[in-house]
Amino acid sequence: MKHIITVQHTQSIHHTNGMVGSWTDWDLTELGKKQADHIGKKLSNELAGKKVVLYSSDLKRAIQTAEEIAKYLGIEPIFKQELRERNLGKCCGKSVQWLRENIECPENTVDDRLFSDGESRRDAWNRLKSFYDEVINSKEENIIIVSHGDLLSIWNAMYIGLPVESFYEVDIHGPAGGVSHMIIGDDGKHRVRHINDMSYITG
């Protein structure tokens, strides 16, 4: 059996100041740090006595979330660029309002890029896919993954067997601090036990 826990990083400064997240390297807010601390406490209780591997995006808001969780588990996070949020190109460092007013190409297909120097959904899918395959095929039984909203929506689609083109019709997207539990049984069936559970972020 394989137990995969995905964690969307907790409240970041860009959630409070109207700026774009993406590859802009924002810190967590003080509330976000407390939320991550609560997640770490609860996961450490659930995973007590088990060997755990923790992978995280290498952007600050994910690193800080992962480090809060890792300190309770007594492990070191492994940082992966593959788990970064989708790169939105030239709007990084700009406001969400600027993004809306300057979009170069509406996202009507999974191959469209909001900005020419950014990633389409298919680009982000392809970036994540090799890491996803590595995790699914590994011998590790208990895995925590800390990432971002867009990337975890892609992870969710991969996990339940949807193709990248599914984004025309569905989007499995959660809020900051959401924790999901995914179980792959010995029969190979992919089960979702919790999806974007927000109870973890409170004391």
- Cα(50)–Cα(142) distance, integer angstroms: 7
Single-letter residue type at 198 = M
Q: Is the pLDDT of residue 196 over 90?
A: yes
The neighbour count for residue 43, using CB atoms within 10 Å, is 20
Asked whether the beta carbons of 62 and 78 are under 8 A apart, the reply is no
Supply the pLDDT for residue 167: 85
Supply the pLDDT for residue 23: 97
pLDDT tens readout for residues 42-57? 999 999 999 999 999 9
Supply the pLDDT for residue 147: 98
Q: List the one residue out of 149, 103, 127 whose CA is nearest residue 6.
A: 149
Supply the pLDDT for residue 153: 96
* Position 203 confidence tier, pLDDT thresholds 50, 70, 90: confident
Residue range 117-137: mean pLDDT, rounded: 97
Asked whether the beta carbons of 156 and 182 are under 8 A apart, the reply is no
Domains of the chain: 2-201 (3.40.50.1240)
pLDDT tens readout for residues 150-189? 999 999 999 999 999 998 888 888 999 999 999 999 999 9
The runs of H, that is alpha helices, within the chain are: 30-46, 60-73, 96-102, 121-137, 149-159
- What residues have CB less than 8 Å from 14, skipping those under 6 apart? 20, 21, 24, 26, 61
Q: List the one residue out of 72, 38, 34, 76 whose CA is nearest residue 197.
A: 38
* Position 115 confidence tier, pLDDT thresholds 50, 70, 90: very high
Supply the pLDDT for residue 5: 98
Supply the pLDDT for residue 113: 97
Supply the pLDDT for residue 169: 85
The neighbour count for residue 76, using CB atoms within 10 Å, is 12
Asked whether the beta carbons of 22 and 94 are under 8 A apart, the reply is no
Q: Is the pLDDT of residue 36 over 90?
A: yes
What's the Cα-to-Cα distance from 43 to each of 35, 49, 106, 135, 153, rounded to whole Å? 12, 12, 39, 19, 21
